[in-house]
Homo-oligomer: A and B are copies of this chain.
Amino acid sequence: MTNQKELKKITPMEQDFAKWYTDVVKNGNLIAYGPTKGSLIFKPNSYGIWELIQENLNKIFKKKGIQNVYLPLLIPESLFNLEKEHIDGFNPELATVTHVGDRELNEKLFIRPTSEVMFADLFKNSINSYNDLPLVYNQWANVVRWEKTTNPFLRSREFLWQEGHSCHETSLEARDLVRVMIKLYAKFMKNYLAIPTIIGKKTHKEKFAGALTTYTVEAMMKDGKALQSGTSHYLAQNFAKAYKISFKNKDNGDSFVYQTSWGVTTRLIGALIMTHGDNRGIIIPPKVAPVQIDVLELFANKDPKVAKVAKTLATDLSRLFRVNLDSTNKNPGFKASNSEIQGVPLRVEVGPRDLANNQVQLIRRDTLEKELVDINLAKKRAIELLDEIQENLYFQAEKRLKERTKHVDNYEDFKQEIANQNFVVAPFCCSDDIEEKIKEETGASTRCVLLKNQVMDKKAPKRCINPGCERTTRRYVVFAKAY
């Protein structure tokens, strides 16, 4: 519960988006800061969103036959070091256990930044023949990456995630699953979090350390910046060869498996906040809202019927929804603001004046529209409104993504649109060093290479956006400033 004195003024997002974000996460019962720098406490409102993400993704995973497992937190140094590119990608960020009590360990243990190497070890010991394939496991876990700069949900030293890992007989099958999973994430974000995304491939510079290909879903925040929201990696045989994950193939020979990994994190909570929030606080899409309906007793001291009706209504609604009843004696304005800042999608106000007409007020969090309805119709109307809110949140976000995604064909326009805080789609055939140069000049990084079926202009190849490049290309890349 946010208490009365904590409810502070929120900096308008137009004035300072970063400050707005910090204000809403601190005041929306979402986070508290832990005792070490960059450490984060997930309070009930944010952990509740994560639980609903977990519950719903789990249902989808289980329908696909994906089984959950849990692997150790600590990875021995020798095991981690077997895959060179992977260790290089993580080395500066690894939290390292060297002692137990006063005793120094024989071997350093790293707190997992991801579990590819632990899964590799498990797979090596579990897989004997093609009969054991495909093997697809998922893990829900905490991971630690010692980031230099931190930002609640977006980049913190410890975060929660799911990481899926699979082994396959053929490259084709593995690549297929990589794409299935990234599409699954995009669909999940659309249907549950009401967040539209762009699916694409990461460039060589931006891909995961140890992967051959990384697919990503990129979302647009309200300030026009991009947020990488989920990834799916084709690991080929990199880990299989380093960790000797082989199997008897159908010809009775030995082959290495082909692997994938894919994950989403508590970063999705940040995505949700920055996609749907407004200057009153966050707005949580009904499907992942820990509280879907707030029932507020107003002026209960003036009419004993208020408390009774509010309770009956809350009980009735709670058969269908996650409901909170605010029966405190705080003032009505505070109660409404408190519900708004916490992003509860629908608020029902029960007060003496409306009750005299056998009515209550329903207030949508997204549009702030109020309507008076007959008490007996409140439940029916709540069902409709929650559906509408879920749809409207997606509609607004999709509209913004479309409007603020600009197609350009020269570097001047490119710079201008990036300066306008838009996503830019541009023909681009160059790689690492040019990406670095563009980032220095404009602040924008490559978010993803569009998949072939997403490219609108399929006819002629176009001149690469890099002014120093003479080539034409059909490779379209999304650039944006990013979190």
Contacts and interface: CB of A to CB of B under 8 A. Distances in A.
Interface string A255-299: 000000000000000000000000000000000000000000000
- The SS class assigned to the A binding surface is mixed
Contacts of A128: 3, 5
B160 A70 contact: yes
A74 B36 contact: yes
Contacts of A131: 3
A111 interface: yes
Nearest to A51: B68
Interface stretch (A97-105, A221-229, A231-239, A458-466): A97-105
Interface stretch (A7-15, A118-126, A189-197): A118-126
Nearest to A108: B99
B132 A72 contact: no
A352 to B, nearest CB: 25
B100 A97 contact: no
Given A41-B71, A76-B35, A109-B36, A3 B132 contact: yes
Contacts of A89: none
A34 B109 CA distance: 13
B98 A35 contact: no
Contacts of A99: 95-96, 98, 108
B94 A41 contact: no
A47 B72 contact: no
Contacts of A75: 35
Interface in A52-95: 67-76, 79, 91-95
Contact of A69 (B41, B68, B108, B141): B41
A32 interface: yes
A67 B79 CA distance: 38
Contacts of A73: 111, 142, 144, 158
Interface string A31-48: 010111001111110011
Contacts of A41: 69-72, 122
A68 B95 contact: no
A87 to B, nearest CB: 11
Contacts of A35: 72, 75-76, 79, 118, 121
A3 B42 CA distance: 41
B71 A48 contact: no
Most chain B CB atoms below 10 A, which of A100, A131, A141, A144: A100
Contacts of A94: 100-101
Most chain B CB atoms below 10 A, which of A72, A94, A109, A121: A72
B72 A95 contact: no
Nearest to A137: B44
Contact of A47 (B39, B68, B97): B68
Given A72-B158, A142-B142, 7 more contacts: A35-B75, A36-B74, A41-B70, A42-B69, A94-B100, A95-B100, A96-B97
7 contacts: A32-B126, A36-B72, A41-B69, A41-B71, A95-B109, A96-B100, A111-B111
Interface of A: 1, 3, 5, 32, 34-36, 39-44, 47-48, 50-51, 67-76, 79, 91-101, 108-109, 111, 118, 121-122, 125-126, 128-129, 131-132, 137, 141-142, 144, 146, 158, 160
Q: 9 nearest interchain CB pairs?
A: A44-B67, A42-B70, A39-B72, A34-B72, A96-B99, A100-B146, A92-B101, A98-B98, A95-B97
